[in-house]
Protein backbone atom coordinates (compact mmCIF):
# COMPACT_ATOMS: atom_id res chain seq x y z
CA UNK A 1 0.00 0.00 0.00
CA UNK A 2 1.31 3.43 -0.94
CA UNK A 3 -1.17 5.59 0.99
CA UNK A 4 -0.06 9.07 0.00
CA UNK A 5 1.11 8.42 -3.54
CA UNK A 6 -2.42 8.49 -4.92
CA UNK A 7 -2.98 11.89 -3.35
CA UNK A 8 -0.10 13.35 -5.33
CA UNK A 9 -1.46 13.48 -8.88
CA UNK A 10 -4.70 14.86 -7.52
CA UNK A 11 -2.85 17.34 -5.38
CA UNK A 12 -1.02 18.44 -8.51
CA UNK A 13 -4.39 18.80 -10.24
CA UNK A 14 -5.65 20.88 -7.33
CA UNK A 15 -2.65 23.15 -7.70
CA UNK A 16 -3.40 23.42 -11.39
CA UNK A 17 -7.00 24.21 -10.58
CA UNK A 18 -5.74 27.10 -8.49
CA UNK A 19 -4.12 28.56 -11.56
CA UNK A 20 -0.68 27.33 -10.81
CA UNK A 21 -0.75 26.13 -14.40
CA UNK A 22 1.93 28.39 -15.73
CA UNK A 23 4.68 28.42 -18.35
CA UNK A 24 8.01 27.15 -19.59
CA UNK A 25 9.79 27.08 -22.93
CA UNK A 26 7.77 25.09 -25.42
CA UNK A 27 8.86 24.94 -29.01
CA UNK A 28 5.56 25.83 -30.62
CA UNK A 29 6.22 26.35 -34.33
CA UNK A 30 6.10 30.06 -35.18
CA UNK A 31 5.67 30.88 -38.88
CA UNK A 32 7.97 33.52 -40.29
CA UNK A 33 5.92 36.71 -40.41
CA UNK A 34 6.01 39.55 -42.88
CA UNK A 35 6.82 43.03 -41.48
CA UNK A 36 3.11 43.88 -41.61
CA UNK A 37 2.21 40.65 -39.77
CA UNK A 38 4.96 41.24 -37.19
CA UNK A 39 3.63 44.70 -36.50
CA UNK A 40 0.16 43.23 -35.94
CA UNK A 41 1.54 40.58 -33.56
CA UNK A 42 3.40 43.18 -31.53
CA UNK A 43 0.21 45.10 -30.81
CA UNK A 44 -2.74 42.77 -30.27
CA UNK A 45 -6.05 44.60 -29.96
CA UNK A 46 -6.61 43.36 -26.44
CA UNK A 47 -5.07 40.86 -24.02
CA UNK A 48 -6.72 38.73 -21.36
CA UNK A 49 -7.11 39.90 -17.77
CA UNK A 50 -4.84 37.03 -16.80
CA UNK A 51 -1.92 39.03 -18.27
CA UNK A 52 -2.99 42.26 -16.56
CA UNK A 53 -2.79 40.73 -13.07
CA UNK A 54 0.38 41.33 -11.04
CA UNK A 55 2.68 38.35 -10.45
CA UNK A 56 6.40 37.79 -9.78
CA UNK A 57 8.62 38.00 -12.84
CA UNK A 58 10.42 34.72 -13.54
CA UNK A 59 7.99 32.57 -11.60
CA UNK A 60 7.69 31.59 -7.95
CA UNK A 61 8.38 28.62 -5.69
CA UNK A 62 6.12 27.24 -2.97
CA UNK A 63 7.12 24.62 -0.42
CA UNK A 64 4.55 21.84 0.05
CA UNK A 65 3.84 20.84 3.66
CA UNK A 66 1.91 17.88 5.07
CA UNK A 67 1.24 18.20 8.81
CA UNK A 68 4.01 20.84 8.90
CA UNK A 69 6.55 18.50 7.30
CA UNK A 70 8.08 19.47 3.96
CA UNK A 71 7.26 16.78 1.39
CA UNK A 72 7.71 18.68 -1.86
CA UNK A 73 7.63 21.95 -3.73
CA UNK A 74 5.91 23.66 -6.66
CA UNK A 75 7.26 26.05 -9.27
CA UNK A 76 4.87 28.13 -11.36
CA UNK A 77 4.98 31.01 -13.82
CA UNK A 78 2.89 32.60 -16.57
CA UNK A 79 3.43 35.07 -19.41
CA UNK A 80 3.60 35.78 -23.12
CA UNK A 81 5.90 33.67 -25.25
CA UNK A 82 8.90 35.87 -26.14
CA UNK A 83 8.38 37.24 -29.62
CA UNK A 84 4.77 36.02 -29.70
CA UNK A 85 2.31 38.58 -28.36
CA UNK A 86 -0.57 36.35 -29.40
CA UNK A 87 0.34 33.33 -27.23
CA UNK A 88 0.53 32.73 -23.48
CA UNK A 89 2.46 29.80 -22.07
CA UNK A 90 2.33 28.32 -18.60
CA UNK A 91 4.01 25.80 -16.31
CA UNK A 92 3.10 23.98 -13.15
CA UNK A 93 5.86 21.76 -11.79
CA UNK A 94 5.26 19.57 -8.74
CA UNK A 95 8.09 17.68 -6.97
CA UNK A 96 7.37 15.21 -4.17
CA UNK A 97 9.77 13.13 -2.09
CA UNK A 98 9.11 11.11 1.05
CA UNK A 99 9.88 7.77 2.64
CA UNK A 100 7.11 5.18 2.34
CA UNK A 101 7.88 2.26 4.59
CA UNK A 102 11.41 1.20 3.68
CA UNK A 103 11.34 2.84 0.22
CA UNK A 104 11.93 6.40 -0.93
CA UNK A 105 9.10 7.68 -3.12
CA UNK A 106 9.79 10.48 -5.61
CA UNK A 107 7.39 12.03 -8.09
CA UNK A 108 7.73 14.82 -10.66
CA UNK A 109 4.68 16.15 -12.51
CA UNK A 110 5.37 18.97 -14.96
CA UNK A 111 2.85 20.69 -17.22
CA UNK A 112 3.15 23.27 -19.99
CA UNK A 113 0.10 24.87 -21.58
CA UNK A 114 -0.18 27.26 -24.53
CA UNK A 115 -3.16 29.60 -24.90
CA UNK A 116 -4.34 32.32 -27.22
CA UNK A 117 -3.54 35.63 -25.53
CA UNK A 118 -6.84 37.45 -26.07
CA UNK A 119 -9.84 37.41 -23.73
CA UNK A 120 -11.29 33.91 -23.61
CA UNK A 121 -8.20 32.60 -25.42
CA UNK A 122 -8.37 28.89 -26.25
CA UNK A 123 -6.03 26.21 -24.93
CA UNK A 124 -4.14 25.30 -28.12
CA UNK A 125 -1.40 22.93 -26.92
CA UNK A 126 0.05 21.25 -23.85
CA UNK A 127 2.90 19.00 -22.73
CA UNK A 128 2.57 16.88 -19.57
CA UNK A 129 5.64 15.09 -18.21
CA UNK A 130 5.52 12.52 -15.40
CA UNK A 131 8.60 10.92 -13.90
CA UNK A 132 9.41 8.70 -10.94
CA UNK A 133 6.88 6.95 -8.72
CA UNK A 134 3.89 6.02 -10.87
CA UNK A 135 5.84 5.64 -14.09
CA UNK A 136 7.40 7.83 -16.77
CA UNK A 137 5.47 9.23 -19.70
CA UNK A 138 4.99 12.37 -21.78
CA UNK A 139 1.65 13.54 -23.17
CA UNK A 140 1.77 16.05 -26.02
CA UNK A 141 -1.60 17.59 -26.87
CA UNK A 142 -2.54 19.79 -29.83
CA UNK A 143 -5.91 21.42 -30.53
CA UNK A 144 -7.54 20.32 -33.80
CA UNK A 145 -10.71 21.53 -35.54
CA UNK A 146 -12.65 18.69 -33.89
CA UNK A 147 -10.99 18.36 -30.47
CA UNK A 148 -7.54 17.57 -29.08
CA UNK A 149 -5.01 15.08 -30.42
CA UNK A 150 -2.73 13.64 -27.72
CA UNK A 151 0.44 11.68 -28.41
CA UNK A 152 1.46 9.48 -25.48
CA UNK A 153 5.17 8.60 -25.22
CA UNK A 154 6.57 5.96 -22.84
CA UNK A 155 10.13 4.59 -22.66
CA UNK A 156 10.51 1.38 -24.64
CA UNK A 157 6.93 1.55 -25.96
CA UNK A 158 5.54 2.68 -29.32
CA UNK A 159 3.87 6.08 -29.30
CA UNK A 160 0.08 6.11 -29.00
CA UNK A 161 -2.37 8.72 -30.25
CA UNK A 162 -5.54 9.50 -28.31
CA UNK A 163 -8.34 11.74 -29.57
CA UNK A 164 -10.14 13.88 -26.97
CA UNK A 165 -13.23 16.05 -27.34
CA UNK A 166 -12.68 19.82 -27.33
CA UNK A 167 -11.93 21.41 -23.95
CA UNK A 168 -13.65 24.56 -22.75
CA UNK A 169 -10.59 25.68 -20.75
CA UNK A 170 -9.51 29.26 -21.52
CA UNK A 171 -6.50 31.38 -20.67
CA UNK A 172 -8.39 32.95 -17.73
CA UNK A 173 -8.72 29.46 -16.22
CA UNK A 174 -4.92 29.26 -16.12
CA UNK A 175 -5.00 31.68 -13.17
CA UNK A 176 -8.54 32.10 -11.92
CA UNK A 177 -7.33 33.33 -8.52
CA UNK A 178 -5.49 36.37 -9.84
CA UNK A 179 -8.23 37.08 -12.38
CA UNK A 180 -10.82 37.04 -9.57
CA UNK A 181 -8.69 39.37 -7.44
CA UNK A 182 -8.13 41.74 -10.37
CA UNK A 183 -11.83 41.88 -11.21
CA UNK A 184 -12.95 41.73 -7.57
CA UNK A 185 -15.54 39.23 -8.70
CA UNK A 186 -16.18 35.49 -8.83
CA UNK A 187 -14.84 33.55 -11.83
CA UNK A 188 -16.18 30.32 -13.35
CA UNK A 189 -14.66 28.17 -16.08
CA UNK A 190 -13.07 24.75 -16.56
CA UNK A 191 -9.75 22.95 -16.53
CA UNK A 192 -8.35 19.97 -18.43
CA UNK A 193 -7.05 17.60 -15.75
CA UNK A 194 -3.39 16.68 -16.04
CA UNK A 195 -3.85 13.04 -15.01
CA UNK A 196 -6.96 11.69 -16.72
CA UNK A 197 -7.29 14.41 -19.42
CA UNK A 198 -10.94 15.02 -18.60
CA UNK A 199 -12.31 18.58 -18.52
CA UNK A 200 -13.94 19.60 -15.22
CA UNK A 201 -15.76 22.71 -14.04
CA UNK A 202 -13.63 25.09 -11.98
CA UNK A 203 -14.81 28.10 -9.99
CA UNK A 204 -13.14 30.72 -7.82
CA UNK A 205 -14.92 32.85 -5.23
CA UNK A 206 -13.54 36.33 -4.53
CA UNK A 207 -13.35 37.31 -0.87
CA UNK A 208 -12.53 40.64 0.78
CA UNK A 209 -8.87 41.46 1.41
CA UNK A 210 -7.49 40.88 4.90
CA UNK A 211 -4.28 41.28 6.86
CA UNK A 212 -2.00 38.31 7.57
CA UNK A 213 1.24 38.00 9.49
CA UNK A 214 4.10 37.19 7.09
CA UNK A 215 7.62 36.86 8.57
CA UNK A 216 6.46 38.83 11.58
CA UNK A 217 5.04 41.68 9.49
CA UNK A 218 1.37 42.39 8.80
CA UNK A 219 0.69 42.29 5.05
CA UNK A 220 -2.54 43.11 3.21
CA UNK A 221 -3.51 40.14 1.09
CA UNK A 222 -6.16 39.28 -1.45
CA UNK A 223 -8.11 36.10 -0.75
CA UNK A 224 -9.91 33.69 -3.08
CA UNK A 225 -11.25 30.15 -2.76
CA UNK A 226 -11.14 27.73 -5.71
CA UNK A 227 -13.06 24.48 -6.11
CA UNK A 228 -12.67 21.92 -8.89
CA UNK A 229 -15.59 19.70 -9.88
CA UNK A 230 -13.17 16.77 -9.79
CA UNK A 231 -11.26 17.45 -6.58
CA UNK A 232 -14.16 18.92 -4.57
CA UNK A 233 -11.66 20.43 -2.10
CA UNK A 234 -11.90 24.17 -1.41
CA UNK A 235 -8.39 25.59 -1.79
CA UNK A 236 -7.85 29.00 -0.23
CA UNK A 237 -5.23 31.29 -1.80
CA UNK A 238 -3.65 34.32 -0.13
CA UNK A 239 -1.99 36.72 -2.58
CA UNK A 240 0.06 39.81 -1.65
CA UNK A 241 -1.72 42.90 -2.98
CA UNK A 242 1.56 44.79 -3.33
CA UNK A 243 3.23 42.55 -5.91
CA UNK A 244 0.83 39.66 -6.64
CA UNK A 245 2.91 36.95 -4.93
CA UNK A 246 1.06 33.82 -3.83
CA UNK A 247 1.91 33.72 -0.11
CA UNK A 248 0.05 30.57 0.88
CA UNK A 249 -2.40 27.94 -0.34
CA UNK A 250 -4.48 26.01 2.20
CA UNK A 251 -5.88 22.51 1.57
CA UNK A 252 -7.74 22.15 4.85
CA UNK A 253 -5.82 22.25 8.12
CA UNK A 254 -3.03 19.78 7.43
CA UNK A 255 -1.77 20.51 3.92
CA UNK A 256 -0.38 23.85 2.77
CA UNK A 257 1.87 25.38 0.12
CA UNK A 258 3.94 28.38 1.24
CA UNK A 259 5.94 30.91 -0.74
CA UNK A 260 9.69 30.34 -0.31
CA UNK A 261 12.96 31.22 -2.06
CA UNK A 262 14.06 28.55 -4.52
CA UNK A 263 16.81 27.13 -2.29
CA UNK A 264 14.47 26.87 0.69
CA UNK A 265 11.62 25.36 -1.32
CA UNK A 266 13.86 22.60 -2.63
CA UNK A 267 15.16 21.69 0.85
CA UNK A 268 12.84 18.87 1.94
CA UNK A 269 12.34 17.07 5.24
CA UNK A 270 12.93 13.32 5.44
CA UNK A 271 9.34 12.30 6.08
CA UNK A 272 8.07 8.75 6.68
CA UNK A 273 4.55 8.94 5.28
CA UNK A 274 3.11 5.79 6.88
CA UNK A 275 3.82 7.02 10.39
CA UNK A 276 2.92 10.63 9.63
CA UNK A 277 -0.50 9.93 8.11
CA UNK A 278 -1.77 6.86 9.96
CA UNK A 279 -4.71 7.07 12.39
CA UNK A 280 -3.63 5.47 15.67
CA UNK A 281 -6.34 3.49 17.51
CA UNK A 282 -6.82 3.34 21.29
CA UNK A 283 -6.90 -0.49 21.12
CA UNK A 284 -6.99 -3.37 18.66
CA UNK A 285 -10.17 -4.09 16.72
CA UNK A 286 -12.33 -7.02 17.88
CA UNK A 287 -12.34 -10.30 15.89
CA UNK A 288 -15.82 -9.63 14.48
CA UNK A 289 -14.35 -6.77 12.43
CA UNK A 290 -12.61 -9.39 10.29
CA UNK A 291 -15.61 -11.73 9.92
CA UNK A 292 -18.07 -11.90 7.00
CA UNK A 293 -20.64 -10.79 7.94
CA UNK A 294 -18.91 -8.53 10.42
CA UNK A 295 -19.15 -5.18 12.17
CA UNK A 296 -17.16 -2.69 14.23
CA UNK A 297 -18.00 0.69 15.80
CA UNK A 298 -15.54 3.60 16.02
CA UNK A 299 -15.95 7.01 17.65
CA UNK A 300 -14.20 9.60 15.46
CA UNK A 301 -13.14 13.23 15.71
CA UNK A 302 -12.42 15.71 12.89
CA UNK A 303 -14.73 13.97 10.42
CA UNK A 304 -16.45 16.81 8.49
CA UNK A 305 -20.15 16.51 7.61
CA UNK A 306 -19.49 15.95 3.89
CA UNK A 307 -17.89 12.60 4.75
CA UNK A 308 -20.82 11.45 6.89
CA UNK A 309 -22.98 9.93 4.17
CA UNK A 310 -24.80 6.72 5.15
CA UNK A 311 -24.18 3.78 2.80
CA UNK A 312 -24.84 0.05 2.85
CA UNK A 313 -21.48 -0.34 4.65
CA UNK A 314 -21.12 2.80 6.77
CA UNK A 315 -23.59 4.47 9.16
CA UNK A 316 -23.06 7.70 11.11
CA UNK A 317 -24.53 8.94 14.39
CA UNK A 318 -23.68 12.34 15.90
CA UNK A 319 -22.22 12.28 19.42
CA UNK A 320 -21.39 14.96 21.98
CA UNK A 321 -18.62 17.51 21.35
CA UNK A 322 -18.72 17.04 17.57
CA UNK A 323 -17.72 13.38 17.70
CA UNK A 324 -19.29 10.81 15.38
CA UNK A 325 -20.10 7.15 16.00
CA UNK A 326 -19.29 5.27 12.79
CA UNK A 327 -20.60 1.74 12.30
CA UNK A 328 -18.66 -0.25 9.69
CA UNK A 329 -20.21 -3.47 8.43
CA UNK A 330 -19.45 -6.07 5.78
CA UNK A 331 -21.59 -8.75 4.17
CA UNK A 332 -21.72 -10.68 0.92
CA UNK A 333 -24.19 -9.47 -1.75
CA UNK A 334 -27.72 -10.82 -1.39
CA UNK A 335 -28.18 -13.78 -3.79
CA UNK A 336 -31.61 -12.56 -4.84
CA UNK A 337 -30.18 -9.27 -6.10
CA UNK A 338 -27.35 -10.69 -8.22
CA UNK A 339 -27.58 -10.16 -11.98
CA UNK A 340 -25.86 -11.49 -15.11
CA UNK A 341 -23.31 -9.42 -16.97
CA UNK A 342 -23.10 -7.12 -18.82
CA UNK A 343 -24.85 -4.70 -16.48
CA UNK A 344 -25.97 -1.13 -16.95
CA UNK A 345 -24.24 1.36 -14.69
CA UNK A 346 -26.72 2.68 -12.07
CA UNK A 347 -24.83 5.99 -12.15
CA UNK A 348 -25.25 6.69 -15.84
CA UNK A 349 -22.16 5.06 -17.33
CA UNK A 350 -19.16 6.66 -15.62
CA UNK A 351 -18.33 3.38 -13.86
CA UNK A 352 -18.03 1.59 -17.20
CA UNK A 353 -16.06 4.35 -18.88
CA UNK A 354 -12.60 3.77 -20.32
CA UNK A 355 -9.91 6.43 -19.93
CA UNK A 356 -6.21 7.02 -20.40
CA UNK A 357 -5.78 5.64 -16.85
CA UNK A 358 -8.30 2.76 -16.68
CA UNK A 359 -7.84 1.65 -20.33
CA UNK A 360 -10.66 -0.91 -20.18
CA UNK A 361 -10.96 -0.80 -23.99
CA UNK A 362 -7.32 -1.82 -24.46
CA UNK A 363 -6.94 -5.07 -26.46
CA UNK A 364 -4.60 -6.50 -23.78
CA UNK A 365 -7.05 -5.73 -21.00
CA UNK A 366 -10.06 -7.09 -22.90
CA UNK A 367 -8.20 -10.27 -23.84
CA UNK A 368 -7.13 -10.94 -20.25
CA UNK A 369 -10.63 -10.21 -18.93
CA UNK A 370 -12.09 -12.76 -21.34
CA UNK A 371 -9.52 -15.35 -20.26
CA UNK A 372 -10.08 -14.83 -16.54
CA UNK A 373 -13.87 -14.66 -16.62
CA UNK A 374 -14.46 -17.26 -19.33
CA UNK A 375 -18.12 -18.05 -19.93
CA UNK A 376 -19.21 -17.05 -16.42
CA UNK A 377 -22.44 -15.04 -16.72
CA UNK A 378 -23.09 -14.21 -13.06
CA UNK A 379 -21.56 -10.78 -12.44
CA UNK A 380 -20.51 -11.44 -8.83
CA UNK A 381 -18.92 -14.79 -9.68
CA UNK A 382 -17.03 -13.10 -12.54
CA UNK A 383 -15.95 -10.26 -10.24
CA UNK A 384 -14.60 -12.75 -7.70
CA UNK A 385 -12.57 -14.43 -10.43
CA UNK A 386 -11.02 -11.09 -11.42
CA UNK A 387 -10.16 -10.02 -7.87
CA UNK A 388 -8.66 -13.41 -7.07
CA UNK A 389 -6.63 -13.40 -10.30
CA UNK A 390 -5.18 -9.97 -9.57
CA UNK A 391 -4.35 -10.95 -5.98
CA UNK A 392 -2.56 -14.10 -7.17
CA UNK A 393 -0.73 -12.64 -10.19
CA UNK A 394 0.49 -9.21 -9.02
CA UNK A 395 3.61 -9.17 -6.90
CA UNK A 396 3.22 -6.91 -3.88
CA UNK A 397 6.03 -4.41 -4.41
CA UNK A 398 5.89 -0.88 -2.99
CA UNK A 399 8.74 0.24 -5.22
CA UNK A 400 7.11 -0.60 -8.56
CA UNK A 401 4.30 1.84 -9.23
CA UNK A 402 2.31 2.53 -12.39
CA UNK A 403 -0.53 4.94 -13.11
CA UNK A 404 -1.94 3.16 -16.19
CA UNK A 405 -3.70 -0.21 -16.27
CA UNK A 406 -1.68 -1.53 -19.22
CA UNK A 407 1.56 -0.62 -17.43
CA UNK A 408 0.38 -2.52 -14.35
CA UNK A 409 -0.45 -5.52 -16.53
CA UNK A 410 2.95 -5.38 -18.22
CA UNK A 411 5.02 -5.21 -15.01
CA UNK A 412 2.63 -7.34 -12.89
CA UNK A 413 3.64 -5.83 -9.57
CA UNK A 414 2.77 -2.89 -7.37
CA UNK A 415 0.94 -1.80 -4.24
CA UNK A 416 -2.77 -1.39 -3.44
CA UNK A 417 -3.25 1.25 -6.12
CA UNK A 418 -1.95 -1.01 -8.88
CA UNK A 419 -4.08 -3.93 -7.63
CA UNK A 420 -7.18 -1.73 -7.60
CA UNK A 421 -6.52 -0.05 -10.95
CA UNK A 422 -6.04 -3.33 -12.82
CA UNK A 423 -9.08 -4.88 -11.10
CA UNK A 424 -11.35 -1.97 -12.08
CA UNK A 425 -10.04 -2.07 -15.64
CA UNK A 426 -10.75 -5.82 -15.95
CA UNK A 427 -14.17 -5.47 -14.31
CA UNK A 428 -15.26 -2.73 -16.71
CA UNK A 429 -13.91 -4.70 -19.66
CA UNK A 430 -16.13 -7.58 -18.49
CA UNK A 431 -19.26 -5.43 -18.44
CA UNK A 432 -19.28 -4.92 -14.66
CA UNK A 433 -19.52 -1.31 -13.39
CA UNK A 434 -16.65 -0.67 -10.99
CA UNK A 435 -14.72 2.12 -9.27
CA UNK A 436 -11.83 2.58 -6.88
CA UNK A 437 -12.40 3.43 -3.21
CA UNK A 438 -9.95 5.50 -1.17
CA UNK A 439 -9.92 5.21 2.60
CA UNK A 440 -8.17 3.57 5.53
CA UNK A 441 -7.73 -0.03 6.60
CA UNK A 442 -6.83 -1.54 9.96
CA UNK A 443 -3.32 -2.94 10.39
CA UNK A 444 -0.79 -3.60 13.14
CA UNK A 445 2.71 -3.01 11.79
CA UNK A 446 6.10 -3.97 13.19
CA UNK A 447 5.94 -1.38 15.97
CA UNK A 448 2.85 -3.16 17.38
CA UNK A 449 0.66 -0.04 17.26
CA UNK A 450 -2.93 -0.68 16.08
CA UNK A 451 -3.80 1.93 13.46
CA UNK A 452 -5.71 2.75 10.30
CA UNK A 453 -3.49 3.22 7.22
CA UNK A 454 -4.44 4.89 3.93
CA UNK A 455 -5.41 2.30 1.37
CA UNK A 456 -7.30 1.72 -1.89
CA UNK A 457 -9.68 -1.06 -2.90
CA UNK A 458 -12.59 -1.54 -5.35
CA UNK A 459 -16.37 -1.46 -5.49
CA UNK A 460 -18.30 -3.41 -8.13
CA UNK A 461 -21.96 -3.34 -9.13
CA UNK A 462 -23.16 -6.93 -9.48
CA UNK A 463 -26.88 -6.23 -9.04
CA UNK A 464 -26.05 -4.24 -5.92
CA UNK A 465 -22.79 -2.53 -4.94
CA UNK A 466 -20.18 -4.62 -3.13
CA UNK A 467 -16.65 -3.74 -2.00
CA UNK A 468 -13.73 -6.07 -2.70
CA UNK A 469 -10.03 -5.87 -1.85
CA UNK A 470 -7.66 -7.39 -4.46
CA UNK A 471 -4.55 -6.48 -2.44
CA UNK A 472 -5.58 -8.87 0.36
CA UNK A 473 -7.67 -11.20 -1.84
CA UNK A 474 -10.93 -10.35 -0.06
CA UNK A 475 -13.91 -10.98 -2.35
CA UNK A 476 -15.87 -9.11 0.31
CA UNK A 477 -13.85 -6.28 1.88
CA UNK A 478 -14.18 -6.78 5.64
CA UNK A 479 -15.31 -4.21 8.19
CA UNK A 480 -11.76 -3.01 8.82
CA UNK A 481 -12.16 -0.86 5.68
CA UNK A 482 -13.42 2.73 6.10
CA UNK A 483 -14.03 4.42 2.74
CA UNK A 484 -13.97 8.21 2.42
CA UNK A 485 -13.46 8.97 -1.29
CA UNK A 486 -13.54 7.65 -4.85
CA UNK A 487 -11.21 7.41 -7.84
CA UNK A 488 -8.06 8.97 -6.31
CA UNK A 489 -9.71 12.37 -5.90
CA UNK A 490 -8.22 14.95 -3.57
CA UNK A 491 -11.47 15.15 -1.59
CA UNK A 492 -9.78 13.06 1.12
CA UNK A 493 -6.96 15.60 1.57
CA UNK A 494 -8.52 17.44 4.56
CA UNK A 495 -8.63 14.15 6.52
CA UNK A 496 -4.94 13.28 6.17
CA UNK A 497 -3.25 13.98 9.48
CA UNK A 498 -6.48 15.29 11.03
CA UNK A 499 -8.83 12.29 11.43
CA UNK A 500 -8.80 10.71 14.91
CA UNK A 501 -10.36 7.62 16.48
CA UNK A 502 -10.96 8.13 20.20
CA UNK A 503 -12.87 4.94 21.00
CA UNK A 504 -13.30 1.40 19.65
CA UNK A 505 -16.61 -0.19 20.66
Domains of the chain: 7-265 (no CATH), 294-504 (3.10.620.30)
Which pLDDT score, from 0 to 100, does residue 141 have?
97
Mean predicted confidence (pLDDT) in 71-90: 94
Residue 93 has pLDDT above 50, yes or no: yes
Helices 379-393 and 363-373 cross at an angle (nearest 10°) of 110
Single pTM value for the model: 0.82
Instruction: Compute the distance between CA of residue 421 and CA of residue 209 in angstroms, rounded to an integer.
Output: 43
Q: What is the pLDDT of residues 379-421, one digit of tens each?
A: 999 999 999 999 999 988 766 678 899 999 999 988 899 999 9
Cα–Cα distances in Å, from 112 out to 13, 24, 89, 272, 414? 13, 6, 7, 31, 29
Residue 326 has pLDDT above 90, yes or no: yes
Instruction: Compute the distance between CA of residue 16 and CA of residue 22 in angstroms, rounded to an integer.
Output: 8
Cα–Cα distances in Å, from 67 out to 14, 326, 393, 495? 18, 25, 36, 11
Residue 153 has pLDDT above 80, yes or no: yes
Cα–Cα distances in Å, from 385 out to 120, 423, 464, 503? 50, 10, 17, 37
Output Rg (C-alpha) for the chain, integer angstroms: 24
Q: Give the range with max mean pLDDT: 94-98, 255-259, 304-308, 462-466.
A: 462-466
Strand partners, 157: none
pLDDT band at 95 (very low <50, low <70, confident <90, very high): very high
Which pLDDT score, from 0 to 100, does residue 105 have?
80
Helices 379-393 and 416-429 cross at an angle (nearest 10°) of 140
Instruction: Compute the distance between CA of residue 484 and CA of residue 467 in angstroms, rounded to an integer.
Output: 13
Residue pair 232/243 in contact (Cβ under 8 Å)? The answer is no
Which pLDDT score, from 0 to 100, does residue 115 have?
98
Nearest to 53 by CA among 174, 136, 150, 210: 174
Instruction: Compute the distance between CA of residue 408 and CA of residue 373 in angstroms, rounded to an integer.
Output: 19
Residue 279 has pLDDT above 90, yes or no: yes
Residue pair 92/15 in contact (Cβ under 8 Å)? The answer is yes
Which pLDDT score, from 0 to 100, does residue 32 have?
37
Q: Of all residues in the chain, what percent carry a pLDDT higher than 90?
A: 70
Q: Of all residues in the chain, what percent carry a pLDDT higher than 70?
A: 89
| Nearby residues of 472 by Cβ (< 8 Å), 6 or more positions away | 391
Mean predicted confidence (pLDDT) in 138-155: 95
Instruction: Compute the distance between CA of residue 351 and CA of residue 128 in angstroms, rounded to an integer.
Output: 26
Which pLDDT score, from 0 to 100, does residue 488 have?
58
Instruction: Compute the distance between CA of residue 199 and CA of residue 142 in angstroms, rounded to an integer.
Output: 15
Q: What is the pLDDT of residues 156-204, one digit of tens each?
A: 889 999 999 999 999 999 999 999 999 999 999 999 999 889 999 999 9
Instruction: Compute the distance between CA of residue 380 and CA of residue 175 in angstroms, rounded to an integer.
Output: 46
Instruction: Compute the distance between CA of residue 235 and CA of residue 238 in angstroms, rounded to an integer.
Output: 10
Other beta carbons less than 10 A from residue 407's beta carbon: 22
Which pLDDT score, from 0 to 100, does residue 133 have?
79
Amino acid sequence: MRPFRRALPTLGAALLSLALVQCKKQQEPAPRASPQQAQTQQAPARVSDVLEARRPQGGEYLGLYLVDKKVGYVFQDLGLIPGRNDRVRGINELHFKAQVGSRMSERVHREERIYEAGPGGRLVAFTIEQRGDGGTQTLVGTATPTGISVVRKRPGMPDETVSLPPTTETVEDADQVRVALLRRANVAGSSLDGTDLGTYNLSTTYQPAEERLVSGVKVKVGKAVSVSEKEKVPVTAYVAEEDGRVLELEYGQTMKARAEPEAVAKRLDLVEVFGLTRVVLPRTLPPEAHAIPGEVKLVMENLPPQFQRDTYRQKYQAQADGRVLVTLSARAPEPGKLKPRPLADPEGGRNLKTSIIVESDSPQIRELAAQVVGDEKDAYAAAKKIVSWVAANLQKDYGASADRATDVLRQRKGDCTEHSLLSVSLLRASGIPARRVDGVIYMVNQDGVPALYWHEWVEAFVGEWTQMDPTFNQVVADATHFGVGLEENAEITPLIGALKVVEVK
